[in-house]
Amino acid sequence: MSVLPCVGIGDIRIWPLLDGRMTVDEPPGFPAADDPEYAVHAEYIHDGKWHIDIGGFLVQSGDRLVLVDAGTGPGDGEVFAPNLDDSRAELVHWAAANGMTDPEQVLTALQSLARTDIRTGSLAANLGQIGFRPEDVTDVLLSHLHFDHIGWVSMDGKPFFPNAVIRCERHDAEHFLAPEHDDTFYRVMWNAMPTSERMAPILDRFEPWDEDALIVPGIECCFGPGHTPGSSFFSITSGSEQALILGDAVHCPQELMDPDFNGTGGDFDPEQSEATRDRIRRDAADQQVLLSAPHFPRLQFGRLHVGERARRWHFRWQS
Ligand SMILES: [Zn+2]
Ligand SMILES: [Zn+2]
């Protein structure tokens, strides 16, 4: 368990809730260790591996208690070691269905991803640590429907937040819950429960929104497609203060500073995703805006400083 500092935005309070971490091979394009930009990543990289935190944010606005993204869910603590040879036919099929014309090249990239170690499941305990119960949550807003953002919406075939309405943008609902949607990649690589199975127990309380929407006072849902068809981020505003909680359009601050760096790829529509990142960079150029995302290290909020020649990132707790 790990209680992270609460952030106040006017009258609204935000608690980052860690769910766990995945460890993957360091992607190409990271700054060298002697590059000043490397400092931002120091706590990401250990022994040549990239440590990616996973979590969500609990936002209290008036009488609403909103969970923004729901982690990966309970894990068994075991490293899942996929057998790519046994799954080769499925992965080749998946690659072809996703427009990848060289399945051999895809398999080589997958060898690296297959070494991912995912350990999660602490979000519920961290919610308890700050004094809330699952039944206190009134709304769950999902930035998108990838498995590492929806894990706690259900457990053992039942809604985990018994009083919450679960929401995401309509394009993601249509994409991920279509009968023909193929979860092979995530199931084979990371033993992930298919989105349709995870969401099935909450479908009677599932209310997608359309593009931009204001569902909870102070929390605006901003349509930012590309990573997935309905990917969204959230603008939290109270008084003169504002924070942005990003989804997976941005996995780490380096992607805000350097438009040429895309740490993880994996975007449904890379061009559209880059346009969304551009828009976020522009929104974040106002240095009063605090930003975080479900994969930022320790889910910390920070600010983007735009200088004449370069952008710089500062975590809030750094001096
Ligand atoms: Zn994602
Ligand atoms: Zn993610």
| Element containing residue 111 per DSSP (H, E) | helix 103-113
Report the candidate in 30, 224, 3 with the shortest Cα–Cα distance to residue 132: 3
Domain for residue 2, yes or no?
A: no
Domain for residue 289, yes or no?
A: yes
d(CA 271, CA 62) in angstroms, rounded, equals 38
With both helix axes pointing from N to C terminus, report the angle between 103-113 and 88-97 in degrees, rounded to the nearest 10: 110
Ligand at minimal distance from the CA of 54 is 2
Domain for residue 73, yes or no?
A: yes
Ligand at minimal distance from the CA of 149 is 2
Number of domains in the chain: 1
Ligand at minimal distance from the CA of 267 is 1
pLDDT tens digit at each of 319 positions of the chain = 677 889 999 999 999 999 998 887 766 566 677 776 666 666 667 777 788 899 999 999 999 999 999 999 987 555 666 667 777 777 777 777 666 677 677 777 677 777 788 888 999 999 999 999 999 999 999 999 999 999 999 999 999 999 999 999 999 999 999 999 988 878 877 888 999 999 999 999 999 999 999 999 999 999 999 999 999 999 999 999 999 999 999 988 878 887 777 666 678 888 999 999 999 999 888 778 999 999 998 899 999 888 777 777 787 764 3
pLDDT recorded at residue 152: 97
CA atoms within a 13 Å half-sphere pointing along the CA-CB vector of 83: 2
**308 CB-near residues (< 8 Å, 6+ apart):** none
Structure tokens given for 47: 């022994």
pLDDT recorded at residue 319: 35
Whether the CB-CB separation of 101 and 129 falls below 8 Å is answered with no
Query: What phi and psi, each to the nearest 5 degrees, are found at residue 249?
Result: -60, -30
Tell me the CATH number at 183. 3.60.15.10
Distance of CA 292 from the midpoint of ligand 1 (Å): 15
pLDDT recorded at residue 39: 66
DSSP secondary structure code for residue 203 in this structure:
G
The CA R_g of the chain, rounded to the nearest whole Å, is 19
Distance of CA 3 from the midpoint of ligand 1 (Å): 24
Distance of CA 106 from the midpoint of ligand 2 (Å): 20
Distance of CA 295 from the midpoint of ligand 2 (Å): 7
Is the torsion defined by CA of 24, 27, 33, 36 positive or negative?
A: negative
Placement of tokens 């930009």 in the chain: 37
Ligand at minimal distance from the CA of 176 is 1
d(CA 191, CA 48) in angstroms, rounded, equals 24
Domain for residue 26, yes or no?
A: yes
Distance of CA 210 from the midpoint of ligand 2 (Å): 21
Distance of CA 218 from the midpoint of ligand 2 (Å): 24
Distance of CA 8 from the midpoint of ligand 2 (Å): 25
- DSSP codes, 178-203: STT---HHHHHHH-PPPHHHHHGGGG
Distance of CA 303 from the midpoint of ligand 2 (Å): 21
Instruction: Strand 219-223: give its sheet, edge to edge.
Output: 213-216, 219-223, 232-238, 241-245, 290-292, 302-306, 311-315
Ligand 1 ion: nearby residues, β-carbon < 5 Å: 146, 248
pLDDT recorded at residue 79: 61
Q: Which domain holds residue 47?
A: 7-315
d(CA 138, CA 136) in angstroms, rounded, equals 6
- DSSP codes, 207-233: --B-SSEEEETTEEEEE--SSSTT-EE
Domain for residue 1, yes or no?
A: no
Distance of CA 248 from the midpoint of ligand 2 (Å): 5
Ligand at minimal distance from the CA of 231 is 1
- DSSP codes, 122-145: -HHHHHHHTT--GGG--EEE-S--
Distance of CA 227 from the midpoint of ligand 1 (Å): 7
Cβ neighbours around 249 below 10 Å, total:
28
CA atoms within a 13 Å half-sphere pointing along the CA-CB vector of 173: 16
Whether the CB-CB separation of 301 and 316 falls below 8 Å is answered with yes
Cβ neighbours around 101 below 10 Å, total:
8
